[in-house]
Amino acid sequence: MVTFSPGFRGRPRSSDVRLPPGQYETYDFPVLSAGPTPRVSRDTWQFTVTTEAGTAHTWSWTDLMALPSERPTVDLHCVTKWSKFGTQWQGVSLDLLLQDVETSADYALVHSYGGYTTNLPLDDLLDGQAWIAYGYDGEDVTPEHGGPARLLVPHLYLWKSAKWVRGIQLLLEDEPGFWESAGYHDYGDPWREQRYQGD
């Protein structure tokens, strides 16, 4: 039997309402990756949205830079339990990139240079919730943090914000990505602590 001294309350919890359950605030920006860091030249970088019918919509780096950008300030929540508040990004909204894409898909499988994939409901990429981000804190996104461009979906755990993004495949049925196939949750809502399958 475990006993505690009177007054023991465990690790103090932040009273910040922005902190999801089980998370702690960090002021660093930890770098976590499943493999080696891809080094992708802007000269060869491309981003392609492929519909369920196989229609491809492709943007080069020059095309992306010619689009109107946004500067979202968002909180990040990593599945490894750290949260970083008020991060400042620059990028192109997925609303803009998908506005002329005809699809009946409900799901998206995001692909990265290096082979990483992650799955999301298509609705989670729309309505001002997601960006292709190429700027962080007034500078270019570094390769370690997913540059030259990464997906940014801040309302979900950070593994859904795929680094080194190169495309989105639109699907009629959900298909698990890299970490989801290894047992991570298909959705990944930090407020519901959806870290692993069954959470």
Q: Give the span between the Cα atoms of 94 and 127, in whole angstroms.
A: 9
pLDDT, position 114 = 93
Domain spans, the chain? 24-29+45-192
Q: Give the span between the Cα atoms of 199 and 187, in whole angstroms.
A: 10
pLDDT, position 5 = 40
pLDDT, position 132 = 98
pLDDT, position 157 = 98
| Architecture of the structural domain at 24-29+45-192 | Alpha-Beta Complex (3.90)
pLDDT, position 15 = 59
User: What Cα–Cα distance (Å) separates residue 60 from each residue in 13, 23, 46?
Assistant: 45, 37, 5
pLDDT, position 108 = 98
What backbone torsions phi and psi does residue 190 show, to the nearest 5 degrees? -65, -25
pLDDT tens per residue across all 199 residues of the chain: 434 344 434 344 455 788 999 999 999 998 877 778 999 999 999 999 999 999 999 999 999 999 999 999 999 999 999 999 999 999 999 999 999 999 999 999 999 999 999 999 999 999 999 999 999 999 999 999 999 999 999 999 999 999 999 999 999 999 999 999 999 999 999 999 999 998 8
Judge residue 163's burial from the number of C-beta atoms within 10 Å of its C-beta, 0-12 exposed, 13-18 middle, 19 or more buried.
buried
pLDDT, position 9 = 41
